[in-house]
Structure 1
Amino acid sequence: MTSGFLAAIDAKPSPLAEFERIATEAGHDMSELEAGHIATAFVRVGDIHSLRCWMSHAAETARAKRRHSFTQFGGRARLWQGVHDRGEAYIFAGEPLDARDVERMGEHFPARLKIVSARRIELAAGGVLDVSATAEDWDVGTREELYTLFNVGTLTIGPDARVIVKGNVFSMVVQHLDVRESRMQEVGPANHHIGILPTPHPVDSRLSGPLDGPCGSAGGDGQPGRDGSSMQVRATVFGPRLIGPSKSIDYDGQDGARGFAGQSGRRGRTGGMCKTAEITVRSLAASSSPLKVFCQAGHGGRGGQGGKGGDGGRGGNAGRQDAGHNENLFGKAGNGGPGGDGGQGGNGGNGGISSNVFVSCPPDQVHLIAVTSLESLGGPAGQGGAAGSGGMPGHGTPTSAVTAFGLDGQPGTPGLDGRGRPKARMHINEILKP
């Protein structure tokens, strides 16, 4: 970042037009841009004051009107996200910075800024242009704040075509815009021309892995009960004779062991977040259709299903108490073991958070801008795991003591649904839209 660029934006008019000035400072080759190429630069920005010059292209009077929009984030002010909010309030609304916040932001500077410039872009019908900066671009973790500036001379958006950005702090400056007539109805997730979309990954700091919570593991089955011992005899000239003393033999089968409980399902992760965006349109074609801007943070992950409880162990068989003279003389068979309880279902993840989206255009063309934002959705709760079945009793005879099947375990309880989060605040020329 050079001092000349700072002066051009904040102090005196540049001899270059806005598009050329931004492209030149980004190091883009003007001859390549004039030939129709799209140029991309990855810039490290040393401090938040320089970052403000890259990212916000509104007049100071407009920034001042935005300040109230950054005072309504409630509990976020106490979190690390609150530091980001206050930094973005300085960048896009000129809100004074607290020295403690500047110090805490220090670890994120030099900031990572992707700058995309194009003299002319014509998006074909149904085309999607994704200008997002990604963690892979910078070889950093997915929680690092990334910034994107999209600098366009003339942008033509064909029917049902879109420009999207995912989870970046975003600035878009278009000198001339023409939106071709399309079949779109109301602005929504599938119906928009500019999409301020969430990070394509969850944002939890304490969990890793997929968005949806994995299911809990099934509990192990209970061990079967030991069979009762039977009389052992040997043949002699005097007939069968007992081997060993009969009083030391345990003829009863043992009860089966309880099945192990299933593990709980993991909770779903928090949905991706949408960051602050500033979209600046210097002029729209007189024949342009309305520009439709949409924003919605990511939905929370589904809670994992609890694991099935293990089945109870089979009861041990009864041992024979007689050497063959009485075929019905047996010990007691073992009872079946109780089944294990099912695991608890995981809670659904919360929806992602959103920030402010500012759209600026000529006052007499406000009717050509339509904006919509939706609340993010919480993830559904995971179901509880199935109960383990009680074990079978051991085998005896009709005259043996009555034995019982093991009791089934209890099914796991479901988790709780995740919470949705408030929608982004959408503004056109500093007026908040419902």
Structure 2
Amino acid sequence: MKSPIPDYLDEVVQSTADDRSGRLADYIPPLAAVEPNVGALALSTVDGTVYAVGDADLEFTIQSISKPFVYAVALAQHGIDKVLERVGVEPSGEAFHELSLESGTGRPLNPMINAGALTTHQMVGEPGITEDKRNAQVLDALSRFAGRELEVDEEIYEAEVSSAHRNHAIAYMLRSHENITGDPRAVVRGYVRQCAVRVTVCDLALMAATLAHGGVQPVTGERVIPHAVARQVLSVMTTCGMYDAAGDWLSTIGIPAKSGVSGGIIGSLPGQVGVATVSPRLDDHGTSVRGVKMFRKLSHDMGMHLMEVPAPARSMLTGDDGHAWRYELQGSINFVGMERVIRTIDEDPPEHNRIVIDLTRVHEIRKVGRRMLHEAIRRLVLEGREVEVHDPDGLLSEPGPIEVGEDPSTQEPVRVDVTGE
């Protein structure tokens, strides 16, 4: 059976394709010249399965999406208390490039605005580290989050660093408060260089999934950062990651997130998935217009809002009972649980033509789990399989035949038998 998940993700991308609102980041000449109508979406589970649709091979620069990951490196190297002495964790309510510091302390309000990101960049490495070595450490860390060796786009770097006047002003302001030491111009060069690292949506989805997985990279299995650091980063992303739109984002979408002016957005849903989108037209907050719409649809359809807390996903048992191939689901069936069921069927097709899906040990089926289960059953039936569902608690419906969709070739309803056994 072919998994329906890529089809759904493609539907999400296509549902936003006609939106031509927003504008390119025209203050960076190479970004002003990109194709404005591209769009892509990638989703990575915490066990390393990546689904990607749209222009998923497109490379673009990471920009401000680098901020939470470099913040994580500083936290891992120096500890939360030391970093908090230099950078706060309060939402600014201001644009990302605002020239402002916390009243009374002189700290940047949080590490997601440029003032905080410049400070955390300089905290990477031991005292006295050279500019080149610090830049190498930052690039190596971003590569470990992505699970592959990343590179800097030198053209973008040169274009950005030559016009980084506002960041230079912020850096000199930070130097005057001794939040950074040494040459402010070197700090700006390093920060702009971390923003110019090239990635794809698949890279970003895996980086986001590393945070969602408590700091363990899903594909390589490497613990990139401690669990406590991942929790701290996700907390700050939740309240500060979307700048002066953070409250609206949290209330409507509810996924810890970070955006960048090249059009990328990442979201990390703890314990579940990492998500990334790209589309270069930006709104007034500097965030991708289509990306916001894609995340909103995902959150609504998939029940991914952070405050909609699912019960822990549990195991699934499979086996041959002599008459049919049986899938015994257990616990709460949400997106993550059904994704594993679908992937198992897709990668290891049942040996019998007759299939029994047993819900006896399931105590809850969430909306997204029900939709995914119906679609999986529909596709199995269209393959010619005989499917029966055992649902003693009536989680799907009362006993008897139920419709799980439509046969696209005949437009006839697809039905399966549900028993109360």
Instruction: Pick the TM interval, shorter chain.
Output: under 0.3
In our comparison, the structure showing a higher alpha carbon Rg is: 1
TM-score (norm 2): 0.27
More helix by share: 2
TM-score (norm 1): 0.27
